[in-house]
């Protein structure tokens, strides 16, 4: 009971981050600040561009605008704190602060994985059933798919966060990471974490397997449909509409699957940190670049915006 009370009031956590490399603190700060700046400008800019150009008011860009919003949010739940910890001596965070950070991060990461699956289904309908696309992907269905993605993200995050709130911790704890990762919290707890680990395994496995199954199934039908096309230009156009999405999926799920495969040992902590930097800092920056550089409508809108200035 005493530990539970300390958990809710006075327990603190020190985020070690990259403190093993004091000589790299300032260079890392500058690099991550630059990346985060591009992330903010790129993702918020993508939302504005989609809003301004009426030609982009389609289901694909509706989902892309929400993907940009999610990228901005989940990066913002991690990077600002990480930047501060790179330049200050005191890297402590309260248990409540840790729980809030994890809640928002988990919400938006799960939502992103679902949105990528939804976007795969959208490409499947657009390529395999083009004549029925506007009917099948109605505004109501698009809104329901996006709302469901956010709702499931919140549900998963609430489940993990509430289960973490029941754990007990010592007054002072050290997390060998740059943010409050759920598995790190479990390893520091004085309580029995069997239920928490079981929940983590069930939800993580379900989310990864279900989203990948939707994505793979959609793209199997897409590839079969494209190969049946007689026109070479039609095949190129169909492939080009999927290229950006396939790149985003490969980077996002590839990084997560890599983290699943890393063995749990002290030597692997640096590898985990680097991979975590990639999906918390780099991927949110890459997504708007991936979707804008290969898209004529987006590039034309950017050119018009710059031209008016």
Confirm if 132 and 125 have CB atoms less than 8 A apart.
yes
Confirm if 178 and 85 have CB atoms less than 8 A apart.
yes
Count Cβ atoms within 10 A of the Cβ of residue 259 and give its class: 0-12 exposed, 13-18 middle, 19 or more buried. Answer: middle
Query: Please, where are the H alpha helices in the chain?
Result: 2-8, 25-52, 59-76, 79-87, 95-128, 133-136, 139-165, 182-188, 194-228, 232-261, 269-277, 283-293, 296-308
Rg over CA atoms, the chain: 21
Query: pLDDT per position in the chain (309 positions), as tens?
Result: 444 444 444 689 999 888 888 888 999 999 999 999 999 999 999 999 899 888 888 999 999 999 999 999 989 999 999 999 999 988 999 999 999 999 999 999 999 999 999 999 999 999 998 888 989 999 999 999 999 999 999 999 999 999 998 888 888 889 988 999 888 888 888 888 899 999 999 999 999 999 999 999 999 999 999 888 888 877 887 787 788 888 889 888 888 888 776 665 555 777 888 888 988 999 999 988 888 766 777 777 777 776 654
Sheet with 172-175, strands from edge to edge, namely 92-94, 12-15, 172-175
Confirm if 186 and 196 have CB atoms less than 8 A apart.
yes
Predicted pLDDT at 79: 95
DSSP structural state of residue 17:
T
Confirm if 98 and 180 have CB atoms less than 8 A apart.
yes
DSSP structural state of residue 88:
-
- d(Cα 267, Cα 111) in Å, to the nearest integer? 31
Angle between helices 296-308 and 25-52 (to 10 degrees): 90
- d(Cα 41, Cα 289) in Å, to the nearest integer? 11
SS3 15: strand
- d(Cα 62, Cα 125) in Å, to the nearest integer? 15
Confirm if 256 and 208 have CB atoms less than 8 A apart.
yes
Predicted pLDDT at 3: 42
In 3D space, the residue among 307, 288, 295 whose CA is nearest the CA of residue 48 turns out to be: 288
């Amino acid at each position: 009971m005493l530990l539970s009370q300390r958990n809710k009031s006075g327990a603190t956590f020190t985020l070690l981050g990259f403190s093993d490399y004091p000589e790299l603190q300032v260079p890392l700060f500058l690099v991550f600040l630059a990346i985060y700046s591009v992330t903010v400008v790129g993702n918020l800019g993508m939302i504005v561009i989609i809003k301004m150009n009426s030609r982009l008011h389609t289901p694909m860009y509706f989902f892309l605008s929400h993907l940009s919003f999610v990228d901005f949010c989940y990066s913002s739940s991690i990077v600002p704190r990480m930047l501060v910890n790179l330049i200050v001596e005191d890297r402590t965070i309260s248990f409540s602060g840790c729980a809030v950070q994890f809640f928002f991060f988990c919400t938006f990461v799960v939502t992103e994985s679902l949105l990528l699956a939804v976007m795969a289904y959208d490409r499947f309908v657009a390529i395999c059933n083009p004549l029925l696309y506007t009917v099948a992907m109605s505004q109501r269905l698009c809104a329901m798919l996006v709302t469901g993605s956010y709702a499931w993200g919140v549900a998963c995050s609430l489940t993990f966060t509430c289960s973490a709130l029941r754990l007990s911790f010592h007054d002072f704890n050290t997390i060998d990471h740059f943010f409050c990762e759920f598995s790190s919290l479990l390893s520091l707890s004085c309580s029995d974490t069997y239920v928490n680990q079981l929940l983590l395994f069930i939800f993580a496995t379900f989310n990864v397997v279900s989203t990948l199954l939707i994505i793979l199934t959609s793209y199997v039908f897409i590839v079969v449909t494209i190969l049946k096309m007689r026109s070479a230009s039609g095949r190129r156009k169909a492939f080009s509409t999927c290229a950006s999405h396939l790149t985003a999926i490969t980077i996002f799920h590839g990084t997560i699957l890599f983290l699943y495969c890393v063995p749990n040992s002290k030597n692997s902590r640096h590898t985990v940190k680097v991979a975590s930097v990639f999906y918390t800092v780099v991927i949110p920056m890459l997504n708007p670049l991936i979707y804008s550089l290969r898209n004529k409508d987006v590039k034309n809108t950017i050119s018009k915006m710059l031209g008016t200035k």
